[in-house]
């Protein structure tokens, strides 16, 4: 994307029809200073997140190269496809019931992150999601407290949850 060139994305999938958003930043650039994820969406997808079924095969709005070599399920989420081989997710219905899902991103936080990474900005929603992302750091403290450094087999469910939030616990 050129500096002055704005790109509009139109989404038509089973969750959103004719949803439009504009990319106002270059992909992967100019993040909020409080938001420093360890992993890109492409990294996360290639490692194995959400049982390989987060997008349900509907990912036309994202760059094709994000899915080259991706770990994806042919159907329902398969925890064995997750990097740590365990389930660390709750059903979308739980997230909806808790009020954590907003209309802009009906699939949840990872959809928000993918769109933010691409360059979409929604100031209030961005602040809310970044606050949620920062709250996940408490799991890093638990891993450091209970696991030997470099032991990635310790607390796999917590590590997988961190991976779902773009934290790379393999470095802990």
Confidence band of 55 (pLDDT split at 50, 70, 90): confident
What tens digit of pLDDT does each residue of 64-81 get?
999 998 888 988 899 999
Confidence band of 4 (pLDDT split at 50, 70, 90): low
Burial class (CB in 10 A: 0-12, 13-18, 19+), 156: middle
Both tokens of residue 120? 């979409």
pTM of the model: 0.93
What tens digit of pLDDT does each residue of 10-35 get?
999 999 999 999 999 999 999 999 99
Stretch 97-125: mean pLDDT: 95
């Amino acid at each position: 994307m050129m500096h002055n060139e704005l790109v509009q994305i139109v989404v038509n999938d089973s969750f959103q029809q004719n949803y439009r958003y504009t990319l106002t930043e270059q992909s992967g650039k100019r993040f909020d200073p409080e938001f420093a994820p360890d992993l890109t969406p492409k990294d996360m997808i290639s490692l194995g997140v959400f049982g390989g079924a987060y997008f349900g095969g509907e990912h036309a709005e994202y760059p094709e190269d994000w899915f080259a070599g991706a770990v994806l399920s042919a159907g329902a989420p398969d925890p064995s496809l997750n990097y740590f081989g365990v389930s660390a997710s709750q059903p979308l219905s739980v997230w909806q019931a808790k009020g954590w899902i907003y209309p802009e991103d009906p699939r949840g936080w990872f959809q928000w992150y993918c769109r933010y990474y691409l360059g979409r900005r929604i100031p209030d929603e961005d602040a809310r999601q970044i606050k949620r992302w920062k709250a996940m750091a408490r799991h890093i403290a638990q891993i450091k407290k209970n696991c030997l450094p470099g032991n990635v087999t310790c607390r796999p469910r917590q590590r997988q949850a961190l991976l779902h939030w773009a934290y790379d616990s393999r470095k802990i």
